[in-house]
A and B are shown apart, each in its own frame.
Chain A
């Protein structure tokens, strides 16, 4: 049987946390992921969280990363691995769908938000796109309108990056978002990732 192709394992510690959050979700039908990369979180989510008949929307520009550690990585081949892995998960879980949107997160989320019936309709949203604070904040504000009551929004890499480089890591944006939206959310996980549930 064919095997998934992954070159990184940034996701290894997530399943423990995510598995505990699954019972809190209002449903397991409509998921959204910002930053899919080679599809490791996508595959895990489809295998373990999504139910038959459900859909996960995957947004990524598959554009070369600026961070020096990843400068040599070809995003063209990353996208090929995403497509390959998604095709493979599709053969095992034919009733669970993934919808790929290749674009920057702001126009992609904007396109979804502008469609009827999308507002407050997602059960689970994973924010793992650009790690610059302004983009994390914008992703969060847009995605929040798409999350339904009781739904969970998960931020990856809350503690990523150099603590002194506050504008180029997600933390200041997530902290600001959580403070300002305090009346609409409860924190349900806080560690290297950060998860909030909509009230």
Chain B
């Protein structure tokens, strides 16, 4: 049987945190991931968090010539497709929906379809890492999140602390301050997790 192919392991410390968030989720049916790359978090989430019958929607532009491409093993998108295929063989009742595009546009379309009724139990934000990208992703993800649902921001403390516009922290902090009446912090570390009240 085919095995997963990964070239990076940025995700290794996440499972310990995410296990603790799992009991907080309103359901394990409908997840959203912004920034899928080669699919490591995708695979872990589907294997360990999603219910049978559930769907994880994955948004990524998968730019050609991406920074971490390993030519011998194809592009990140090739590896994502391969890994999702392997995953589908192992967990046939759990679905991955691939949405290739800019997160702001894909989420805008989702909000247009669903209105302000939250549809996702869990949203993982790991797309653009500059503050403008993180802020836009956060603001657009929020209306898509169910009440009681959880958003995890990856890489809250990533980057040069002096380069405040080039890292996620400023945007995550601003988001939490401004959405204070509807967001509770449920994890704070290298990642940040908030639950919708």
Contacts and interface: CB of A to CB of B under 8 A. Distances in A.
A19 interface: no
B139 A142 contact: yes
A137 B171 contact: no
A188 interface: no
Nearest to A183: B165
A145 interface: yes
A187 interface: no
B136 A107 contact: no
Contacts of B132: 180-181, 183-184
B174 interface: yes
A176 B107 CA distance: 21
B86 interface: no
Interface string B141-154: 01100000000000
Interface string A92-126: 00000000000010111111111000010000000
Interface in B15-50: none
Contact of A104 (B115, B179, B180): B115
B5 interface: no
B-side interface size class: 20 to 34
Contact of B139 (A119, A141, A182, A183): A141
A133 B142 CA distance: 14
A97 to B, nearest CB: 22
B109 interface: yes
Nearest to B114: A107
B14 interface: no
Contacts of B89: none
A179 interface: yes
A137 B139 contact: yes
A138 interface: yes
Contact of A134 (B115, B140, B182): B182
B108 A138 contact: no
Contacts of A184: 132
Contacts of A112: 108
A114 B179 contact: no
Given A145-B104, A180-B165, A138 B109 contact: no
A113 B109 contact: yes
Contacts of B108: 109-114, 142, 145
B112 A145 contact: no
A173 interface: yes
Contacts of A106: 111, 116, 143
A180 B173 CA distance: 11
Interface of A: 104, 106-114, 119, 133-134, 137-138, 141-142, 144-145, 167, 172-173, 176-177, 179-184
Given A138-B143, A172-B178, 18 more contacts: A106-B143, A110-B111, A112-B108, A119-B105, A133-B178, A137-B139, A138-B140, A141-B135, A141-B136, A142-B108, A142-B136, A142-B139, A167-B180, A177-B135, A180-B131, A180-B170, A180-B171, A181-B132
